[in-house]
Amino acid sequence: MADGANAILVRRRRREQTPGPRISRWTRGNRPIAALSAVFTLAQLALVRPVLGLGWDEIVYVSQVTSHHPAAFFSAPRSRGVSLLVAPVASWSSSVPLLRVYLALLSGLALYLALRTWRGLFPTRVLVTGGALFASLWMTLFYGPQAMPNYWVAIGALISVGCFLRARAERSSTRTLWGLAAGGALMAWMRPTDAVYVAVPLLVLALVRRHRRLLLVFAAGLAAGAVPWVIEAYLSHGGLGARLAEASRIQGGLGWQIAVDDQLRSLGGRALCRPCTGSMPTPLVTFWWFTLPVLAALGLVVAARARRLERTLVPLACATTAALPYLFMIGYAAPRFLQPVYALLAIPVADALWHLVRGPGGSWRPVAAPLVALVLAGHLAAQLAVLDGAVARNTESRRDWGRTADALHRLGVRPPCLLTGLEAIPIGYYTGCSSGATSGNNENTTAADILRTAEHRPVAHLAPAGGTPPRYARSWPAHRISDLDVRVAPRR
């Protein structure tokens, strides 16, 4: 009897101790992902630097929630997600370094959470390698600490696809379903149209396989994120159809337009390639772009042989649909547009790379391993070189806006004030003025309104040196500031 009692106690202790090693293994698996995310955060702060001033698009998003500057015109394609993302800092502080640190920390945490959703689908080494491939791209490092939507769409895409695949394997996991909804909401919150392209393969698969629960949860997440954009469409743009049409017009008219060469040109560090002219970057800069589809195809073959095809095929399908509009439907390019594509490709590509460097028994391949390491080192060096150039150019251009703002202050253009003309939105933000345009994508006022405003506050028009000003500003006294002709309305 005593032996039976002891046996029961021993078994009970074993059951109580069993979760310990499992928790330990789970924790050990998360540590490399956490370390990668920490390095990514520190790299942003060290290489991009928190003192980088706000860019044009950032100004539009940040000005919506700050009380220190007038709100810039918010055009039809934009969504309020970024503005809400920065609100915890921008709503009470005008400090750009503080905002940069906040976004760098947030982007590092987001990368950690996104990669964690893939635990159990791929080995930890593949997830860390895939995360490192995505995080080391110059556009990921550059835009991580910026108030821009594309990185966050990429994070939402990773979370959505990872949780979708896990939910199919863990049908009773409520936490995974919440993650699926959150990933869809994050994408739609940031850019509803991008979210639709990423989501198509997931929605189709859930419908074909009759996974009603996954379909409803994911659709609910997408809808929750898109609701503010749809409501705003009816309140400010004449309806959803009208907003989509206006967004298409601003983007040059969506339709069959090959932008593959434009995307290649933008890889050299151009934030926006519109119009996209000039020479192509060096082959060292663009080499990785051509290897992506090759390695993705290899990852698909590896997955098929290992009988885990779906977990590789689904992210590749989502990456393909996400890439379509930016490669074949618009007439310009920006490297950040394809961030969700790069994030979704990173894990299958990392799986292919590990297949190249490790043999069936787990031993290193003596030729392939050092060769792959050498190629990756060259790729990283190229990315850091492009990043350095992009940071330098953007830092200087934003300092130019600051210098122009100082010169405008000396001319008596001080808040409250209004700027119109060339780069009125960014220069207006740095000056502390509101901005106005009588035509173009940011049209928000009329010449009559501008003249009425000039009766009671400073108004200035900006034009290229030697350019022809609009009729309402032709009689205003002209001043030269750098390469701009600035005409300041006379005070009455």
What does the domain layout of the chain look like in residue ranges? Answer: 2-357, 395-488
What is the pLDDT at residue 361?
80
CA pair distance 326, 64, nearest whole angstrom? 27
CA pair distance 475, 477, nearest whole angstrom? 7
CA pair distance 395, 386, nearest whole angstrom? 14
Residues 81-109: tens digit of each pLDDT: 999 999 999 999 999 999 999 999 999 99
203 to each of 164, 198, 268, 311, how far by Cα in Å?
A: 10, 10, 35, 15
Tell me, what amino acid is at 413? V
What is the pLDDT at residue 18?
45
Phi/psi of residue 463, nearest 5 degrees: -145, 155
What is the pLDDT at residue 25?
58
> Could you identify the residue written with the tokens 């394997």?
169
Task: State which residues of the chain have pLDDT below 70.
Answer: 1-27, 171-172, 492
What is the pLDDT at residue 274?
85
Tell me, what amino acid is at 407? A
The answer to whether the beta carbons of residues 418 and 439 sit under 8 Å apart is no
Angle of helix 96-116 relative to helix 124-135, nearest 10 degrees, comes to: 150
Angle of helix 19-43 relative to helix 2-17, nearest 10 degrees, comes to: 10
Tell me, what amino acid is at 417? C
What is the pLDDT at residue 26?
55
What is the pLDDT at residue 255?
87
